[in-house]
Structure 1
């Protein structure tokens, strides 16, 4: 096997862990199954990750960045703020509907991290990333589209993170994408009404 930089092997193992955990669940996924999924030896796994916490941190960061990158790519100024906000929500929602198991994994990882002593910061960081992303996107749009918000940016960012999080769980439980799309339409109208 050709030598590969350790950062590339970590990425390969992280992606394999996401696939294995999405398919089998966090509790049933072992280091051995992740190494097999990646096509690497167990010793390479242990060379790249010195603890389960390090692996989970990499998985949480990577899976969160999947969603974040997709939304960032979708948020491009449209003719109106309403259309711009809707495009971002549509991109995120299309990913949820197409990849429900991956989104279910994010909640499973959150619960796992909250229940494992010493892992709580991983769940906190996951949710901080969601809020930070919304804050960055709001600030970027406010500057690009030249609008002023009627509420503080951090408050709106937390609201949007909580709303998309709750709506995603609701969809995973009830499986009704049309009802979720209606809620996103309502939130789009609400956000568009918070500017002057």
Structure 2
């Protein structure tokens, strides 16, 4: 077996766990089946992860990493704030449509954690992380386009996390109705753009008011 750095081995096992759990479900996926999926011995698995909770935390992090990178790249400034925001949502939605099994797994992980004694903090951390990611994206956009928000950034971040979480579940249940989901993403983009303005434009607008 090829030796590799611990961080790389953990990533390999996490990716294998994602494939196994997406295929077989979280409760039916064992450490032995994950090791087999990764092509390593069971002892290697236990060297990399000392608990199932540590593995599940890694799974949640890596699944999130899969789409956060493309969203951050899509948020490069465009002609308008609204176009930039819509591009970010579009990148996320492209990932949902391309990898529905990964997004379905995130909901299964939440349910598993909530129903398994001792694992409840994992579900809380999972959804706290969603809010943190949106806060990072909001700050990235604000810095790149010199924006000021009409609402506190943490509030907007939590709203967007809840909105996209619900919309993704809606897609997984109802199927791919592209025109409908595109219209919803347009609407969310309009809402967010209305809450994010260039300070100069806002001052000019206020000056014009009687």
Common fold by TM > 0.5: yes
How many residues were matched structurally?
A: 196
Higher radius of gyration, 1 or 2: 2
Q: Which moved more, 1:62-71 or 1:165-174?
A: 62-71
Q: Deviations over 1:5-24 (max 9, x none)?
A: 22221111111000111111
Q: Which residue of 2 aligns with 1:192?
A: 193
Per the alignment, residue 64 of structure 1 pairs with 64
1:91-133 deviation per Cα after TM superposition (whole angstroms, max 9, x unaligned)? 0000001111110001001111111122122111211111111
TM-score in terms of structure 1 length: 0.95
C-alpha displacement of 1:85 = 0.2
Q: What is the Cα deviation at residue 67 of structure 1? A: 2.2
Counterpart for residue 153 of structure 1: 153
* Equivalent residue runs for 1:1-196 within 5 Å: 1-178=1-178, 179-196=180-197
Counterparts of 2:126 and 2:66, CA distance in 1 = 12
Q: Does the 8 A contact of 1:109 with 1:123 survive in 2?
A: yes
Conserved? CA contact 1:21–1:29, under 8 Å: yes
Root-mean-square deviation (CA, aligned residues, Å) is 1.2
Unaligned 5+ segments in structure 2 are 198-210
TM-score by length of 2: 0.89
Indicate if the aligned counterparts of 1:96 and 1:168 stay in contact, CA closer than 8 A: yes
Query: Which runs of 5 or more structure 1 residues have no equivalent in the other structure?
Result: none
Conserved in 2, the CA contact under 8 Å of 1:64 and 1:126? no
Q: Give the superposition deviation at 1:149.
A: 1.3
Question: Would the aligned equivalents of 1:60 and 1:122 in 2 still touch at CA under 8 Å?
Answer: no
